[in-house]
Structure formats: structure tokens, C-alpha cells
Chain A
């Protein structure tokens, strides 16, 4: 069992605790303590929750992509006390939910949450020119945490892009969401082509031949950017081919 401290920023106070509390409970966590406060940016909700470690990622993903959530940060709870006042996300680095040093990767090859959390503000600042930051992240995490960390960074970035640029309009079915949301969003990052039900990524800078594959970032990104539109269904993205292993282009398959 783990205890997590979550800091959430929303634009409205009404019903925030009820809605997010439901997400916490639905993921098998217990809400231990919570605090709501207001500042010039909006309403801050700090929650301390307890639950199974293996459900942590699912809970984080669901909260981070929730429509009420403008900003989301998670850390291992220390002593179970609530901080006096939540600090702005950009200036308060999270505690690691998984070991952060490259030499001490998470036991089940989970993501290096601290490294990912510290990279996310850079990705937001320089978006869409984010590949140098992804290469830095790739080098900063342990080898067996690399893919999961790239995927988590991708999901968080994709969910953020969806909320920022694509949330307005009707919920779409997966085929329409791919055409109207995923492909244009991917085109901001790199050259892509959607054909025969597969996404072809040309010359991905994070999948150069002979190096590591960066396709897990794109998989996470697509899951994040599509997740909001096709919810409550879950989107799965699978890498079929990657340039890093000698293929002409990276090919991803999207399903739900």
C-alpha cells in the first residue's frame, strides 16, 4: 500500500471534491484527507489517498486527464500531513513515486515519475519543439524505466494538448477522433501519415536507426490526446515497426 499526496488545480470549486473523489474510489484508493483552497489561479484541491501501488498509474492518468483538472501533481505522502498551502506547479518539484536515479529503476520497470514530472514543464514551455527534452529524459532515466517514462510523458503531454486545443466540440468516435484530433496533433510534432488504419511516422527524431525507440512516447501521446475525446472508452496504441530497429518508418496501430 502507498500513500500519495495529490495537488490539483481546477477553475471551479463546485463539486470538485465529489467528482475527483469518485475517481479516487473507483480506482480502489481511500481518501484519507483533503483540503480545498483558492488563489488567483483557481481552486486547489490537495488530497492524501491510500491504495495499491499497482493502481497508482491508472489513478494518476485518470485524474491528470479529467476535464475538471487544469494542473495535476503527485508525490509520495510524507507523514500524512497536508501542506499549509499548495505551491505553483512549475516551482514545486514532486517527490518521486518511483526511484529517480538512473541506477535505481522502479521494481516493475515503471516510469521514473520524478524525472517525468520535472521534464513536463519544459515540454509545455517549448511545445511543439520538444524532442531535445525527450532525448534528455531518455538519457536521465534508468534503462528499464525508459519506455514507461516516455509513455507517461507522452500521455501527460497528449492529455494537455487535448484540453488546450481539441476539447471543444462533440465527443467523437475513434475513427473520427484519429482524423480530426490525433493526426493534426501529431503533425505539430513530426511528419505523419494515416493510411490503412495505421499511423506512419516519417523520420521520427527520437527513433533514429541504431538508437533506442521513442515510439512509446508517441503511443502515450496518442492515448492522451485521444483519451479525452473517446472517453469512457480506453485507447490502446501498439508500435508495429520502428525506425530504430531498421524499419523505413515507425508504424503505430490504434484501437480501443
Chain B
């Protein structure tokens, strides 16, 4: 861990929990994409899964992890870039899940989907880091940046393989746990790449207009709450449908 960063361990654990919860919700939504009866249903399922993955598993995890990180000075976040980072994660994850769920399972599709998801996770992180406003310069160790991208891509491929190729409990739980590793592994490796250099205490021009940590906490709480509701409703609907299927 770089000297200028210290972490609140409870929030670090929570960041993994939210990424697993978001991944679980997203993959539960994603595994039914192949069952869609028409284009509209398929698009709706892809977008719902992409939103849960992009905003729930990745974006919310990133900002809980940022709240866990004490960089030794006050920080605010540029609202536009923060919102864009959520849109990027949502778009990349939707694309990845659409590819992984199309037609018959194939490795070529899985790898392409994993690259999309990995780029989504990584792109969201570094765009989210670009939103950080504080009285210092941020620079990166490029080897670790590449490593963070590789972790995100490889773990995304594994998570998608588990989700779409397997059946049963390992499909349901294993894929979410691995996707949590993809998101957190990428994030904390990316944070290890960060160097903070003194700029003489000069704050960015719109520092005062940036979003503060307590605002972020509220946004993340809403995201987590929505994810829990989706999981519960989904579970209830699936149990009902399963009971209705007659021989």
C-alpha cells in the first residue's frame, strides 16, 4: 500500500460485499437473457443486468473503496465525471453481457465479453479517479495499471464462464464471488499504482462544487438498497415460476 494512503478495513470489506451483491444481481438477470422471447425482452434483460453490474457491482464498489481510502487530505468528486464513469461501466457491462449471452456458448464470445467487461471495470475506475479533486497531483505506475486491467479482464472471463456455462449453486454463487474479485482486484491494484505529489496545496477551480463523501455515501446506500430489492423480487418471481411449471 502506498505511504500516502490508509484504509478503513470495514469499508474495504463492505466494498467487496457490494461488488458481490451487485454481481450476483447482475448475473441472475443475465442468465435469463438467452430465454428472452423477442428483441424487446432481450434488450430489457441486457440493460437491467448491465445496470446492476455497472452501477451496482462496479460503480458503487469503487466509491465505497474511495470512502475507505484516506489520502491525507480532503477530497471532492467532479459530478460530471462521476456520472460519466457510471454510464461507461453500465454501457461496457451491457455490451459484454449481450455478447456472452448470445447464441450457443463459445470461447471466442466469452473472451470478447470478458474484454468488454474488464475494460468497463477499468475504464470506470480511472474515469472515477479523474473525478477526484484535491490539493495534489495524481500520477500512476503504468505496470500496475496494466496489471489492474489484466486482473479485470481475466476475472471477468472466469465469472462469465461460471455464469453462463455452469448450472446449479456454483453458477449462482461462484460467478458473483469471482466477479467481486475482478472488480476489487482491479480497483485495489489500480490504487496501488497511484502516487500523490504535492502541488503546494493548490485546489482545483471547481473543488468547492464537487460532490463530498457524505453525498456519495447516500448515493451508494440507494444503489445497494435497490440491488437488494431486485434480488428479493427476482427470487420470489423465480420460485413462483418454478412452482408453476408443470410436467
Contact = CB atoms under 8 A, between A and B. Distances in A.
Interface in A116-156: 120-121, 123-124, 156
Interface of A: 9, 11-12, 15, 19, 41-42, 67-68, 70-71, 89-90, 120-121, 123-124, 156-157, 160, 163-173, 176, 180-181, 184
B100 A67 contact: no
Contacts of A9: 244, 246
**SS of B interface (majority):** loop
A19 B37 contact: yes
Given A19-B37, A170-B104, A89 B165 contact: no
A174 B20 CA distance: 31
Contact of B164 (A15, A70, A163, A170): A170
30 contacts: A9-B246, A42-B244, A67-B35, A68-B37, A70-B246, A120-B247, A123-B247, A124-B246, A160-B247, A163-B245, A166-B167, A167-B35, A168-B35, A168-B167, A168-B171, A169-B31, A169-B166, A169-B171, A170-B34, A170-B100, A170-B105, A170-B165, A171-B105, A172-B105, A172-B165, A173-B105, A176-B105, A180-B165, A184-B167, A184-B168
B165 A176 contact: yes
Contacts of B34: 169-171
A15 B163 contact: no
A118 B79 CA distance: 64
A226 to B, nearest CB: 12
A12 B242 CA distance: 15
B245 A164 contact: yes
Given A170-B104, A170-B165, A171-B105, A160 B245 contact: yes
Nearest to A68: B37
Contacts of B38: 15
A254 B34 CA distance: 24
B74 interface: no
Contacts of B168: 184
Given A15-B37, A168-B35, A171-B103, 18 more contacts: A9-B246, A70-B246, A71-B246, A120-B247, A124-B246, A124-B247, A157-B247, A164-B245, A165-B167, A166-B167, A168-B171, A169-B34, A169-B166, A169-B171, A170-B34, A172-B104, A180-B166, A181-B167
B35 to A, nearest CB: 6
Interface in B71-109: 100-101, 103-105
Contacts of A165: 167
Choose among A166, A168, A170 the residue with the greatest number of B CB atoms under 10 Å from its CB. A170
A60 B32 CA distance: 25
B161 to A, nearest CB: 10
A171 B167 contact: no
B244 A169 contact: no
Contact of A156 (B32, B166, B245, B247): B247
B167 A180 contact: yes
A129 to B, nearest CB: 15
Contact of A70 (B100, B105, B165, B244): B244
B45 to A, nearest CB: 11
Interface string B159-196: 00001111110010000000000000000000000000
Contacts of A70: 244-246
Nearest to B242: A164
Interface string B15-37: 00000000000000001101101
Closest 7 CB pairs of A and B: A71-B246, A170-B164, A170-B105, A124-B247, A160-B247, A168-B31, A171-B104
B35 A160 contact: no
A156 B247 CA distance: 6
Contacts of B35: 67, 167-168
Nearest to B166: A180
Contacts of B245: 70-71, 160, 163-164
A71 B165 CA distance: 27
A214 to B, nearest CB: 18
